[in-house]
A = this chain, B = another copy of it.
Amino acid sequence: MTDRLLATYRVAAPHESARARAEALAAEQSVEMPVSAIRDERVLAEIVARVEAIRPVEGGFEADIALASTTTGMEASQLLNMLFGNCSLQPEVTLERVAFPPGYAKAFPGPRFGIAGLRELVGAPSRALTCSALKPQGSTIHHLAGLARTFALAGIDIVKDDHGLANQAYSPFAERVVAVQKAIDAANDETGGRTVYAPTFSGRPRQLREQLKAAEYAGVKAALVAPMLIGPPSFVEFREEAGMPILAHPALGGASRIAPPVLLGTLFRLFGADATIFPNHGGRFSYSRETCLALCDAARGPLDGLAPILPVPAGGMTVDRVDGMLAGYGTDTMLLIGGGLLSAGDALLERSRDFVARVHAFGNHP
């Protein structure tokens, strides 16, 4: 069975019909035709997905389905197709877990930097990292560069664009990255700090390539990309071409009925993210604490030798939650506070310094 991925689906359907429903799901996610009409013995033995186990759960059942590795073509879009292509159209089905056979993940790029690479980049060997965001979109480049300077003076490790900053007329990518990077470089020179800027890359493959050139020329050292917005295979290609750590943003990714630890944890890591931003429990979004912890495990736990990546809880977080978050997630974490700093207005520098001080004070151990 070492040539098979084990995908666990949850199906909201009566347990009496579980066997037939699971067999139908296995056909849907592999040959997509009546198995009885297949005469090729090799296809029946090696291609048709197999139902390995069925367990009753509240509201339905869970089925472990073994998908042949070869059907995924060892490529991101086809892997998603096999895991959740057609059954995405069946609202009673969710993808809960996936386990790859040994060696499978190595066919994918995986993180180039991971936690260790990000720590080296910002010069923080053991404490948790800090991150904030340039907002709101629609602001002038001058305003965004001013915010970036303030965050850098406060010693925040990574200053990222709001993921809504794309290539709009009011702050075009090419001009924005030059101005913001310059503001951060100047602040770093003054403080001796190592703040890194991560602009949002978005758009079509050719646009991504142009943005990468412009960013590298401007001295940019990290990237923010939403894999589900540009598409997972385009994300993989970006990872291949970009020589910088990539923060994955979950935009459009929460809707997919793929459990967040699988999509934002395992799959984004497989596709090459070095850090993964997710909506923390207790903020504007509804992930549970258990979901968030499972996502951290997927990001940092063993995965076929791939480097662990940084979980980045975010979404309505505030400075007074720093200790609680670090106690829960440990220090191999980057805390992202955006609106919670920006709402300080004229006191932005002070509140940003307070954020940094609290994270540093928490120390190096969870």
Contacts and interface: CB of A to CB of B under 8 A. Distances in A.
Copy number in this complex?
A: 2
Nearest to A143: B40
B33 A339 contact: yes
A28 B315 CA distance: 10
A34 B339 contact: yes
A17 interface: no
A231 to B, nearest CB: 1
A226 interface: yes
Most chain B CB inside 10 Å of its own CB: which residue of A91, A170, A233: A233
Nearest to A28: B284
A250 B90 CA distance: 12
B229 A77 contact: yes
Interface string A260-291: 00000000000000000001000011110000
Contacts of A123: none
Contacts of A363: none
Contact of A168 (B70, B137, B207): B70
B88 A37 contact: no
A252 B90 contact: no
- Sorting the interface of chain A by its residue count into under 10, 10 to 19, 20 to 34 or 35 or more gives 35 or more
Given A81-B166, A343-B36, A204 B233 contact: yes
A182 interface: no
Nearest to A338: B33
A178 interface: no
A291 B348 CA distance: 49
Contacts of A297: none
A145 interface: no
Contacts of A73: 166-169, 202-203
A262 to B, nearest CB: 13
A70 B169 contact: yes
B81 A40 contact: no
Most chain B CB inside 10 Å of its own CB: which residue of A48, A162, A231: A231
B40 A203 contact: no
B256 A138 contact: no
B90 A163 contact: no
A10 to B, nearest CB: 13
Contact of A204 (B88, B237, B253): B237
A30 B203 CA distance: 18
B138 A71 contact: yes
Closest 4 A/B residue pairs (Cβ): A231-B231, A47-B138, A89-B254, A31-B136
Given A37-B339, A68-B138, A89-B253, 15 more contacts: A30-B136, A32-B338, A33-B343, A43-B139, A46-B138, A47-B138, A73-B168, A75-B207, A80-B229, A81-B163, A81-B202, A205-B205, A231-B235, A255-B255, A255-B258
Interface of A: 24, 28, 30-34, 36-40, 42-43, 46-48, 68, 70-73, 75-78, 80-82, 84-86, 88-92, 135-140, 143, 162-164, 166-170, 202-207, 226, 228-237, 250-258, 279, 284-287, 315, 338-339, 342-343, 345
18 contacts: A31-B164, A34-B343, A37-B345, A38-B136, A40-B138, A47-B138, A71-B138, A73-B168, A84-B252, A88-B254, A89-B250, A89-B254, A89-B287, A204-B236, A205-B233, A205-B237, A230-B231, A230-B233
